[in-house]
A and B are shown apart, each in its own frame.
Chain A
Amino acid sequence: MDELLKLLKKNALETPEDLARMLNMPVEAVKAKIAEYEKSGVIRGYQAVVNHDQLDLNLVTAVIEVKVTPEREGGFNHIADRISKFKEVQSLYLMSGTFDLLLFVSGQTLKEVAYFVSDKLATIPGVLSTSTHFMLKTYKENGVLMHVENEHERLKVSP
């Protein structure tokens, strides 16, 4: 991956000026490249990594394994596309193995998620079965630890 993308993936708030210094590039070139990535859709958005457990949100997240029948034309894409449009669905992946689609679904209550699974998801033509797991605690997300490790005291000056 391009160095610029790596840096933005690590910290999307990095300014073009600082990126230019780090990459030994002119600021204008950095700005142009970012604009190009945004336009072509390589960069699809910028989000904060939030530790939800620290907030009193009553947020329920479920991981759902779904088995589906692929369609003659379009394979898994058509049904996956249909499922992905529900606002409850945070992430959706096509998987290898014993099931086909993996969904991350969030709701305010257990009931809300259960309703989504039984009334929306399971009733979609082509969905054969679902298996829902509720998430209990987040330890790490997008490569970011959700807890602070105790800092070890380093010497402030050393040879």
Chain B
Amino acid sequence: MSASKSRPDRIASHVRDMPPSGIRDFFDIVSTMKDVISLGIGEPDFVTPWHIREHAIYSLERGVTSYTSNLGLLKLRKALSGYVEKTFHVSYEPANEILITVGVSEALDLAMRAILEPGDEVIYHEPCYVSYGPVITFAYGKPVPIQTKPENNFVLSAEQVAEAITPRTSAIILNYPNNPTGATLPEKELKAIAALAEKHDLIVIADDIYAELTYDGEHVSAASLPGMKNRTIFLHGFSKAWAMTGFRLGYACGPADLIGAMMKIHQYTMLCAPVTSQEAALEALKNPDVDIQEMKTEYQRRRNFIHASFSEMGVACPRPTGAFYAFPYVGDLGVKSKDFAYGLLDAEKVAVVPGTAFGPCGEGYVRCSYATSMDEIKEAMVRFKRYVDNIRARNK
């Protein structure tokens, strides 16, 4: 009888060697504390609009509880095709260019697994959402993060992309408006990056989940640029713009061959997205502008408030132009992001996420989500200032 594998060995090495999310240990500490004001939350504080919830309940009453087509309900894909065309100015065929997924997270995973050969490189920009690197690694690809620069307000430059491209590069992930920095990508830069994608025959994964939450100017998706539809996988979902995170509903749009390949994996691993969530999404798309505009206006007020508060307390913070995050710099206080975040939590019971959780170039920064009520933001800013003032007094 052969000896059983030792415990570490029975986990595949590419999983074993993956460090847990930097957010996780912070979460564990915060969740043990009482009365914490959290600016650490990456989801809307709004409840899903009532008419959407009510429609989901109605679908259950009607007994809509079965599987759907692998691609998702055709009527939902049709509605999405209309919404995407109207909002992002690119048109997709409901029959074979749209795939409904379990959140954008699944869509991203499918995209990686569909396009990567082992060792293929994928470029993405840091600081970024915590999943990109791991999802690439789990698909046997090689993550190639680019450190965006604070002096550019964390906007990715085409120049940096050009430097990172090698013969093994197969794709580039773009996520603007950005989590965690709140930055958006100017159209000029996007066009230059798109030109590079064309030149080097790269696929662009456009994670446009925060697109509707663009405050100054209009969001332009990579997919909508001339000639780019054929090499772009457009990722979007209902979590942020409609406050539907728990419904877990996203979708991918792209050329039929790429969507077909993603569908093959989805078919064997997920089968289909939950039908109740798909029904809710159908309702969300009936009159989307009203719900979105209301939330966007509220986020915009909070963005203004939090940005004004940081500048009043003399903390440098690039003005966020999208999503619901501010990314202030606290490095000049002589503390590391992590120590600042733990100290703030300990002294003032305010939770922010250390910038380093989103990549090494987040050092010196903390992410403050303003997806929390205005009253909480006000109190959090009072405490933040008190904490910063104390550090400054100590430094003297």
- A residues neighboring B (CB under 8 Å): 3, 7, 18, 20-24, 152, 154-159
Contacts and interface: CB of A to CB of B under 8 A. Distances in A.
A45 to B, nearest CB: 23
Given A7-B301, A20-B308, 4 more contacts: A154-B43, A154-B45, A156-B31, A156-B40
Contacts of B131: 159
Contacts of B378: 18
Contacts of A159: 21, 23, 42, 129-131, 179, 357
Contact of B26 (A20, A23, A157): A157
Contacts of A21: 304-305, 308-309
Interface centre among A3, A7, A24 (most CB of B within 10 A): A24
A43 B36 CA distance: 37
Given A156-B30, A159-B129, A24 B40 contact: no
B302 interface: yes
A22 B301 contact: yes
Contacts of B302: 22
Contacts, number: 59
A3 B300 CA distance: 11
Contact of A157 (B30, B47, B179): B30
B41 A23 contact: no
Interface in B86-128: none
Nearest to A149: B47
Nearest to B180: A159
B380 to A, nearest CB: 13
Interface in B299-345: 301-302, 304-305, 308-309
B351 interface: yes
16 contacts: A3-B297, A18-B305, A22-B301, A22-B302, A22-B374, A154-B41, A155-B41, A156-B31, A157-B27, A158-B23, A158-B27, A158-B41, A158-B42, A159-B42, A159-B130, A159-B179
A155 B245 CA distance: 12
A24 B303 CA distance: 10
A7 B305 CA distance: 13
A130 to B, nearest CB: 35
A156 B27 contact: yes
Interface in B1-53: 21, 23, 26-27, 30-31, 36, 38, 40-43, 45, 47
B301 A157 contact: no
B249 interface: no
A21 B381 CA distance: 12
A23 B21 contact: no
B351 A157 contact: yes
Interface centre among A23, A155, A158, A159 (most CB of B within 10 A): A159
Nearest to B372: A154
A56 B193 CA distance: 67
A23 B131 CA distance: 34
B213 to A, nearest CB: 16
Nearest to A158: B42
